[in-house]
């Protein structure tokens, strides 16, 4: 049985595609087995906190989903919230699995991360479903934008999955372009989905609105900005390479800010549900879960194509010095 404290490697001992800027040590051996990857959850390496900062919240969101299903299972109008909450549980679970399996050999590592991207894209679609049902500005209800908001969000989710998965094909040879594509794949859908929130926040700043959910939406937006900055900047490890290899590096900050943002978003949507009950037309369960199902089916089809097309990584020689 392999030990969870298996030998860790330094950056120069792993292939370039496994390295992160400013992270000099704590790498698990590339092409580890699935068993070795899972056991690494219980030993300290530079992925350990990346795994647990999403695995624990995934358990919380799943518990919350089950509790709300029992309480609201047959309540009219609860479908968009339950669909959204399901995606809240899915994306950190997929992320923690991807980081746990990130040292797999062959195509396994890329496949795990593609599943992570698909789950994150579905979370964006889940957010759009909840926004359309509970968060939309009242003066926009029934507008052309409102009518096409969810269909465009479904399309954005599919494009997000496709572009982010395609970025895996570029990672080895064009890492900067790969990172740019991956960032665009999630920033654009977030901006589109948040247009109703941004509009309501702008009205609040102008003194035209003082709804109780707006401070929570504002905190969610701030966390989203911090998430973007931590993902793209690689700070603080760029400033002090090697000092944040295990604790405090940017991807851990990225995970924590993302989860905090989701918690603020969840509270904001719950507040809007309570305050605006009966003021927005609610979609049917068929509309809600049909939209989510179309997004999920398209993402699964994209994953199938990627899984077949991914080439195994070329063998690398581990350096001993």
Asked if residue 236 has a cis previous peptide bond (ω within 30° of 0), the answer is: yes
> Quick one: what percent of the chain has pLDDT higher than 90?
79
Is residue 267's pLDDT more than 90? yes
Lowest mean pLDDT among 4-8, 91-95, 181-185, 288-292: 4-8
Residue spans of the domains in the chain: they are: 34-309
Phi, psi angles (nearest 5°) of residue 320: -100, 5
For 286, the 3-state DSSP assignment is: helix
Phi, psi of 28 (to 5 degrees): -75, 150
For 189-222, how does the pLDDT look when each residue is reduced to its tens digit (9 = 90+)?
Answer: 999 999 999 999 998 877 666 688 999 999 999 9
Q: Dump pLDDT digits (tens) for 221-233.
A: 999 999 999 999 9
Q: What is the mean pLDDT of residues 266-292?
A: 92
Residue 269, classed as helix, strand or coil, is helix
Bridge partner residues of 104 (DSSP): 32
Residue-wise pLDDT for 47-63, tens only, equals 999 999 999 999 999 99
This prediction has a pTM of: 0.93
Element containing residue 20 per DSSP (H, E): none
At 71-126, the pLDDT tens digits run 876 677 899 999 999 999 999 999 999 999 999 977 899 999 999 999 999 999 99
Per-residue CA distances from 170 to 5, 87, 175 (Å):
32, 27, 6
For residues 146 and 137, give the distance between their C-alpha atoms in angstroms, rounded to a whole number: 10
Asked if residue 312 has pLDDT above 70, the reply is no
Q: Which H or E element spans position 309?
A: helix 285-309
pLDDT in tens, 238-253: 999 999 999 999 999 9
Report pLDDT for 209. 63
Both tokens of 110, joined, read 């890329």
CATH no. of 34-309: 1.20.1070
User: Which residue in this structure is represented by tokens 């080439």?
Assistant: 311
Cis peptide before 80 (omega within 30 of 0): no
Average pLDDT over residues 5-23: 89
């Amino acid at each position: 049985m392999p030990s969870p404290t298996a030998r860790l490697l330094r950056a120069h001992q792993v292939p370039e595609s496994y390295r992160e800027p400013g992270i000099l040590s704590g790498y698990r051996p590339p092409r580890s087995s699935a068993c070795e990857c899972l056991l690494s959850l219980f030993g300290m390496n530079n992925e350990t906190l990346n795994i647990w900062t999403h695995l624990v919240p995934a358990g919380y969101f799943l518990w919350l989903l089950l509790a709300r299903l029992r309480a609201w299972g047959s309540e009219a109008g609860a479908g968009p919230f339950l669909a959204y909450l399901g995606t809240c549980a899915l994306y950190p679970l997929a992320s923690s699995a991807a980081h746990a399996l990130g040292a797999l050999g062959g195509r396994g590592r890329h496949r795990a991360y593609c599943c992570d991207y698909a789950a994150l894209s579905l979370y964006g679609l889940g957010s759009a479903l909840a926004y359309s049902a509970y968060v939309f500005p009242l003066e926009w209800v029934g507008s052309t934008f409102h009518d096409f908001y969810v269909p465009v969000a479904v399309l954005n989710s599919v494009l997000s999955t496709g572009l982010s998965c395609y970025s895996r094909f570029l990672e080895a040879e064009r890492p900067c372009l790969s990172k740019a594509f991956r960032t665009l794949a999630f920033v654009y859908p977030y901006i589109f989905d948040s247009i109703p929130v941004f509009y309501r926040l702008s009205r609040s700043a102008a003194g035209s609105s003082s709804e109780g959910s707006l401070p929570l939406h504002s905190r969610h937006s701030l966390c989203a900005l911090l998430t973007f900055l931590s993902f793209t900047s690689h700070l603080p490890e760029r400033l002090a390479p090697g000092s944040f290899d295990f604790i405090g590096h940017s991807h851990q900050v990225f995970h924590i800010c993302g989860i905090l943002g989701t918690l603020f978003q969840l509270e904001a949507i719950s507040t809007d549900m309570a305050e605006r009950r009966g003021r927005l037309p609610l979609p049917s369960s068929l509309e809600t879960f049909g939209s989510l199902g179309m997004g999920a089916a398209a993402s699964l089809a994209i994953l199938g194509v990627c899984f077949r097309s991914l080439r195994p990584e070329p063998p690398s020689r581990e350096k001993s010095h």
